[in-house]
A = this chain, B = another copy of it.
Amino acid sequence: MTNVSTRSATVVFQPSGRRGQVPLGIPIVEASRLLGVDIEAPCGEKQVCGKCKIRIEQGMFQKLGLVSKKEHAGHWRAGEEAYISAEEKEAGFRMGCMATVEGDLLIFVPEAARTGKQVVSKAPRQLDITLDPAVKQYSVDLKPPTLEDPTGDFERLCSALENTHGLTSLSMDLSVLRTLHAIMEKGNWQATVSVWMDREIILVKPGLNANIFGLAIDIGTTTVAAYVCDLVSGEVIETLSMMNPQVKYGEDVVSRISFHMENPDGLKRMSADLVDGLNGLVSQALSTRYSRPAPDKGSETEQVFRIQPHEIVDVCIVGNTAMHHILLQLDPAPLGEIPFTPALHHSLDIRARDLGLKINPAAHIFMLPIEAGFVGGDNVGVILAEAPHDQDDLQLIIDIGTNGELVLGNKKRLISSSCATGPALEGAQIEFGMRAAPGAIERVVIDPETFDVDYKVIGRDAWKNYSSPADMQAKGICGSGILDAVAQLFLAGIVEKSGVFSKNLASNRFRIRPATEMKEFVLAWADETSIGKDIVVTQLDIRHIQLAKASIYTGCKLMMRKMGVKRVDSVKIAGAFGSHVDCRLALVMGMFPDCAVEKIRSVGNAAGDGCRAALLNRDKRLEANKIAQQVEYIELTLEDDFQVQLMEAIHLPHMKDRFEHLWDDDNDA
C-alpha cells in the first residue's frame, strides 16, 4: 500500500515522447519540468501569460500503456477561459499552469508552447547542381486591348510569352485566370509570370516582381524538416523543422498504421494533423523578415522582404512510404501486411489546394517516388544527393531515423533495404532520452580508471569538467549522447561484450533499483541537471541501443552478401543523427561493417538534400523515378538466417585496439 503523499500517475508528453511517474496533484507545468519537457511559461506560472496552453489527448493508448481522459487533468479552473476558447476546451486544451495531474495523461505540447526548439543545422550543404527549377519566371510587356484588338487577356499574355520567351502551348490554372484582368490593369499591362514545367501559368504578378520561392520538405516519422528556397538564386533562405504531429498517434510507422486500422477516421486525422503542421511551417516562413543584398546596388545595401503565400510556387516532398501514404490519405494498411505493397511507386504531382497547403493554390507538389513498402522517397532523396549510381566506388549509405534505410551499390548495381532500428537512436524509448534540443547530453567520455564522467550538453560549449555543476542544466540524453554513452561504458569496461553491466563495479555511479532490480549508471548527478534528479543510462537503454545497432549491422551484412562483396569502399551516415554522432564510436560499437575510418563520413540530411535537388532541378525528378525503378529492394526479414545474424550482431565487438590511435588528437574531433 502506498500512502497518499506518494501516489503517482504516468504522464507522457508529446511530441517529445518524454514520460515518467509524477506525484498526483501537481500542475502539469511542474510535471513537465520533472520530466525534462520545457513548457513555455514566461509569466512564471502566475497564470497571466496564457503561453502554457497544452492539449489533453483522450483515449486508450495501448502502445503507451495508458488511458488518458480530460478528467485526469483536474476540474476546469476559473481563469482558463481567458485563454482557451470554447472550441479549444472541447478539443481538450487546458492551461498547463492550472490543470493538474489527477491520473494517467497523454499531453500534447503545441509548438507554440515549447521552449527547447530542436537543433537543426541551419547551414544546409551546398548542392552541386544546375539551377533549372520546375517553376521559372518571365516578364512581359503587353499592349492593352482595344476595339481593333479585343483579344482575351489569356491569349494576349500567351502571345507575348511566345514572342518574347519562345514559350508555346501554355495553359493557365483557373485560380490565376480569376485575377488575371485585375493584375494586368494593376501592372499597367506589364507582368511577371511564373510558368510550371514550361506548360502551365501558375502565377501572374503585376509589373516587375521576381520573388518566387519553393519548399523542399523531408517528412520523417519523428521530425519534419523544410528548406525554404529562393527559386531565382537557388539559395536556401531558411531551414525550418518541427516534430511530426502524428507522433501522438504512435512513435513508429507500425503504430501509425495500426492507428489507421483501429480508427475509421484515423487516416484523415493523421493526414490533417500533418497538413496543419506543414501549414504552421509555412506561416513561420511567411512571418519572417528576410534580407539579402539589393540587386544593382553596392553589396552593402540590404533588401528586406517577406514571402507572400502566393509566391511559394513549388514544393517537393520526401518521406518514407508510410509517411507518404498517410499524408496523401492512401491506405497504409497494405504496407503493414505481407507482401508490403505500396499504392504506387511513381512520383506524383498534386495541387497544393488538393492537399490543403496554404501556399499558391495553383502550385504543384512533387512527391518523390517510392522504392518499396518500407523504403520510400526519403531513400530516393539520399541516392539523388549522394549519387552512388554515378560512381565506380562501392558505397554503403546508412540513413538513421526512426527507421534505418540502407543503400549499397555503385553504377553497376544498387540495392536497398530497411531495418527496424526503433526510435532509440533518436533519443526515444530511452529513459532519459530526448530530442537534440538545448540541455541534451550529446557527448560523453568515461574515464576507464575512475569511471568519472565528462559530458557536453547542447547549447553550452564548456564540458562538465570545466564547469560548475549548477551551470550544466542537463535535461536528458539525445541520440548521439546515448550512443556515446554506451560505447564509452563498453570501452571503460563497465559494460561487457554482451551488453550487460559488469559485476562488482566499484563506483557510486553504478546502482541497482530496489523495486525492479533494473541496473543503471549515473551520467549526471541531480545537481548538474535542470530536472532535479540523476540522469542515468539503464540496462534497458543499453539493450535498445544494442538492438538498433545490431539491426543496422545485420542489414549491411546481408546486403553485402546479396551483392557478393566482402568490403565496401566508403560508408556514409545520413540523417540528423549522423550529423551529431562520432563516426569512430559508431564503428567501435559495430554499427556497420569494417571500413577505413577516413572513408566514413557523415552526410547530414541527405534525404532533404535530394529533395532540394529535385526542387531546384527538374531533371532530378526524372532521375528520381529512374532510381526508384532501378534500385533492388531486399526484404531483410525474409532472409532465412536473419534472426541468427541479428542475435550474433547484438554483441559489442572489441575493435578498440585497432582504432585506439583515433582518439590521440582530441576528444571532439
Residues in chain A within 8 A of chain B (CB atoms): 145-147, 149-155, 171-172, 174, 177-182, 328-331, 333-334, 338-346, 348-350, 353-354, 370, 372-373, 635, 638
A344-B145 in contact given A178-B331, A330-B178, A331-B178 (Cβ < 8 Å) = no
Contact, CB under 8 Å: A178 / B370: no
Question: How many Å lie between the Cα of A339 and that of B152 in the bound state?
Answer: 10
C-alpha spacing A261/B27, complex, angstroms: 57
Q: Are B150 and A341 interface neighbours, CB within 8 A?
A: yes
B154 and A343 contact, CB distance less than 8 A: yes
Question: Which residues from chain B contact A338 at a C-beta distance below 8 Å?
Answer: 147
Docked-complex contact B344 and A150, CB < 8 angstroms: no
A-B contact pairs, 10 of them (CB 8 A): A147-B338, A149-B339, A150-B340, A154-B343, A154-B345, A174-B328, A177-B343, A181-B330, A181-B331, A181-B343
Residue pair A329, B147 in contact (C-beta under 8 Å): no
Question: Are A153 and B344 in contact (CB-based, < 8 A)?
Answer: yes
Query: In the docked arrangement, what's the CA distance between A172 and B151, Å?
Result: 35
Partner pick for A155 among B172, B330, B345, B348, CB 8 A cutoff:
B345
Contacts of A174 in B (CB 8 A): 328, 348, 350, 354
When the two chains form their complex, are residues B178 and A342 in contact, meaning their CB atoms are under 8 A apart?
no
Contact B150 A370 (CB under 8 A): no
- The docked-state distance in angstroms from the alpha carbon of A420 to that of B292 is 57
* Cα(A350)–Cα(B345), bound, Å: 26
**In the bound complex, do residue A345 and residue B180 qualify as a contact, i.e. CB atoms below 8 Å apart?**
no
Query: Which residue of the partner chain, among B150, B154, B354, B638, contacts A373 with CB atoms under 8 Å?
Result: B150
The CA of A182 and the CA of B172, in the complex, are separated in Å by 35
A616 to B392, CA, bound (A): 55
- Note all chain B residues with C-beta closer than 8 A to A329: 178
User: A341 touching B152 by the CB < 8 A rule?
Assistant: yes
Apart from A150-B339, A155-B345, what 15 extra A-B contacts exist at CB < 8 Å? A147-B339, A147-B638, A150-B373, A151-B341, A151-B345, A152-B343, A152-B345, A154-B344, A154-B345, A171-B349, A174-B328, A174-B348, A177-B330, A177-B344, A180-B343
- Pair A155/B346 contact, Cβ less than 8 Å: yes
Least CB distance, A159 to chain B, in whole angstroms: 12
Contacts of A150 in B (CB 8 A): 339-341, 372-373
Alpha-carbon separation in the docked complex, A146 to B349 (Å): 28
Interface pair B341/A153, CB less than 8 Å apart: yes
Which B residues lie within 8 Å of A353 (CB)?
354
Contacts of A149 in B (CB 8 A): 339
Complex Cα–Cα for A152 and B340 (A): 9
Least CB distance from A339 to B in Å reads: 4
Set of chain B residues within 8 Å of A333, measured between Cβ atoms: 181
Give CA–CA (A152, B638) in the complex, Å: 19
Q: A147-B635, A354-B174, A635-B147 given as contacts; is B342 within 8 A of A152 (CB)? A: yes
> In chain B, what residue has the closest Cβ to A633?
B150
Neighbouring B residues of A334 by C-beta, 8 Å: 153, 181
Give the chain B neighbours of A350 by CB distance below 8 A: 174
Q: Which residue of B lies closest to A157 (CB)?
A: B344
Q: Which residues of B contact A177 (CB under 8 A)?
A: 328, 330, 343-344, 348
A92 to chain B, nearest CB (A): 29
Q: Is the pair A178, B328 in contact by a Cβ cutoff of 8 Å?
A: yes
Please name the residue on chain B nearest to A355 by beta carbon: B174
Kindly provide the distance from the CB of A457 to the nearest chain B CB, expressed in whole angstroms.
Answer: 45
What CA separation (Å) do A405 and B333 show in the bound complex?
Answer: 57
The CA-CA distance from A153 to B231 in the complex, in Å, is 34
The residue of chain B having its C-beta at the shortest distance from the C-beta of A331 within the complex is: B181
A145: which B residues are within 8 A, CB to CB? 339, 341
- Which among A145, A328, A340 has the greatest number of chain B C-beta atoms within 10 A? A145
In the A-B complex, list the 4 residue pairs whose CB atoms are closest, starting with the nearest: A154-B344, A150-B339, A152-B342, A145-B341
Residues of B near A330 (CB, < 8 A) are 177-178, 181
> Complex Cα distance A344/B151, Å?
8
Chain B hits for A182, CB < 8 A: 331
**B contact residues around A342 at 8 Å (CB):** 152-153
Residues of B within 8 A of A181 (CB): 330-331, 333-334, 341, 343
Q: Closest B residue to A175 by CB, please name it.
A: B354
Q: Contacts of A179 on B, CB cut-off 8 Å?
A: 331
Nearest Cβ in chain B — how far from A416, in angstroms? 14
Which residue on B lies nearest to A353, using beta carbons? B354
Instruction: Output the nearest chain B residue to A638 by Cβ-Cβ distance.
Output: B147
A47 CB to closest chain B CB (Å) equals 38
The distance in angstroms between the C-alpha atoms of A146 and B337, with both chains bound, is 11
Q: A147-B339, A174-B328, A181-B331 known; A155 and B635 CB under 8 Å?
A: no
